[in-house]
Amino acid sequence: MHVTQKSISKDLDCYFVPSSSVEGKIVYKEIIRATNDFNAKHCIRKGGHESVYRAKVPSGEIFAVKKFHSPLLGEISFQQEEFLNEIRALTEIRHRNIVKFYGFCSHPKHSFIVYEYLESGSLDMILGNDALAKELGWTQRLNVIKAHISDFGIAKFLNPDWSNSSELAGTHGYVAPDDAESLPFHV
């Protein structure tokens, strides 16, 4: 995958995926304007090192923008590595169940990644909200077919052994067939 660069100033670099519908159109100033300078009212999710914002740009397109928090002095190199690691993963992997990556901007004041916006939010957000979870019956829960994965590169960066586990983990009601083959059979 090739990435194009659009420099806006000496302190700001923006990169966009050429095949995306936003090739070079979304720039730093539009994202800042669309999020009202990353105002809390546009924040849709907070994480340990970043927050995700909903950004509707003048063209009418809506994007998810992951803005990395300003690091403390001792965390600067970790945060830069985290930012670059996620970008590397997103530019190397394409799959229908991984959120679309449109680009990123790196600036001393704000560094962010521009993603596809998923209107219905995350599954854990729905299941974590009792009112929304009740609306999602068991049949619907079992037939979730539009899964999208995001924020997966950081776990491997923090501990490379996490993605190579040989122990069975996860939901006991379902075991992946390749894992099930190595399990002892009990009657």
Instruction: Kindly give the confidence (pLDDT) of every residue in the chain, 187 residues in length, as a single tens digit, with 9 standing for 90 and above.
Output: 344 444 433 455 777 665 555 545 556 788 899 999 999 999 998 887 789 999 998 888 899 999 988 765 455 556 677 777 777 777 777 777 788 888 888 777 778 889 889 887 776 777 777 877 777 777 776 766 566 666 655 444 444 544 444 444 444 444 455 555 555 544 4
Domains, the chain, ordered by start:
1-162 (3.30.200.20)
Q: Write out the E strands in 20-179.
A: 43-46, 50-56, 62-68, 101-106, 111-116
Q: Which helix (H) or strand (E) holds 90?
A: helix 76-92
For 182, the token pair is 């190595």
Reported pTM: 0.61
